Amino acid sequence: MRRLVQQGGVQVNGERVDDPAQEVGPGDEIRVGRHRFLRLVTK
């Protein structure tokens, strides 16, 4: 995962992630590459 972040292949809420230690929270959408993504939901 760290390599994907360094190469610019990870986005959180449509913005490129540069820091592998960036925290994500409920409602955030994480996209890895062009086709894989998930949305964090809390109950």
Summarised one tens digit per residue, pLDDT across range 1-43 is 789 899 988 999 989 999 999 998 888 888 888 888 888 777 6
Domain count, the chain: 1
pLDDT of residue 1: 79
Nearest of 36, 3, 29, 1 to residue 15 by alpha carbon: 29
Residue 1, both tokens = 């995962």
**Cα-based angle 21, 35, 37 (whole degrees, multiple of 5):** 45
pLDDT number for residue 17: 92
CATH code of 7's domain: 3.10.290.10
DSSP-assigned states of every residue in 3-23: HHHHTT-EEETTEE---TT--
DSSP helix/strand/coil, 37 = strand
Determine the pLDDT at residue 43.
Answer: 66
Task: Provide the residue range defining the domain that includes 27.
Answer: 2-39
Find the length of the chain: 43
Q: What is the DSSP letter of 25?
A: -
